Amino acid sequence: MILISNDQEQVACSESMLAFCEQTLSRALELLEVPNDAEVSVIFVSDESIRALNREYRGIDEPTDVLSFPQLEGEELLDIENVLILGDIVVSMERAVSQAEAYGHSLERELAFLLVHGLLHLLGYDHDAEFEGEMRDKQEAILQELGIQR
């Protein structure tokens, strides 16, 4: 189950954009062979909100594009009433718009990238040297399978 909430007013989020985001994550979960009963929450926020979260949880006092808050306990996923709760993906919509413009692609493509990136973090992938290449390769393979090109 994909739960999406829009907690910002800076960037308009149409129903079709929200549906695209839900479909992107649903398909990515399938491609990653995550069970159908998995739950992911997505929250769209402002730069100001993500900056506060980044400061509180990472000690970095600046906005970022995406933060992931996994519900992992060691190697075990949180399982409540037969639902695997993977965690929350928080996306700055202002940052997504500015990055889409900077990279010369659509907002949808940027959101797909950020959501897949965030999902991989929920599943335990990280930027350390051991997993960076594997994470990048998996991310690109998923986006390619979804028909989303750079």
Do the strands 76-80 and 38-45 form a parallel or antiparallel pair, or are they unpaired?
Answer: unpaired
pLDDT at 132: 72
- State the sign of the Cα–Cα–Cα–Cα dihedral 125, 127, 130, 136: positive
pLDDT score for 14: 93
- Burial of residue 6 (CB within 10 Å: 0-12, 13-18, 19+) is middle
* DSSP characters over 92-148: EHHHHHHHHHHHTS-HHHHHHHHHHHHHHHHTT--SSHHHHHHHHHHHHHHHHHTT-
Write down the pLDDT at residue 127: 74
Question: What pLDDT does residue 72 have?
Answer: 66
pLDDT value at residue 73? 55
**Per-residue confidence (pLDDT) for residue 137, from 0 to 100:** 87
Q: Are 147 and 140 in contact (CB under 8 A)?
A: no
Grouping H, G, I as helix, E, B as strand and the rest as coil, residue 5 is strand
**Predicted local confidence at residue 136, as pLDDT:** 86
In percent, how much of the chain has pLDDT > 70? 89
**What domains are there in the chain, each with its CATH number?**
2-145 (3.40.390.30)
Is the alpha carbon torsion for 121, 20, 62, 142 positive or negative? positive
**pLDDT for residue 10:** 92
Q: What is the pLDDT of residues 68-103, one digit of tens each?
A: 999 865 555 555 556 788 999 999 999 999 999 999
What gap in Å lies between CA 92 and CA 48, rounded to an integer? Answer: 9
Mean pLDDT by 10 residues, the chain (150 residues): 93 94 95 86 97 96 95 58 84 96 94 95 80 83 87
pTM of whole model > 0.85? yes
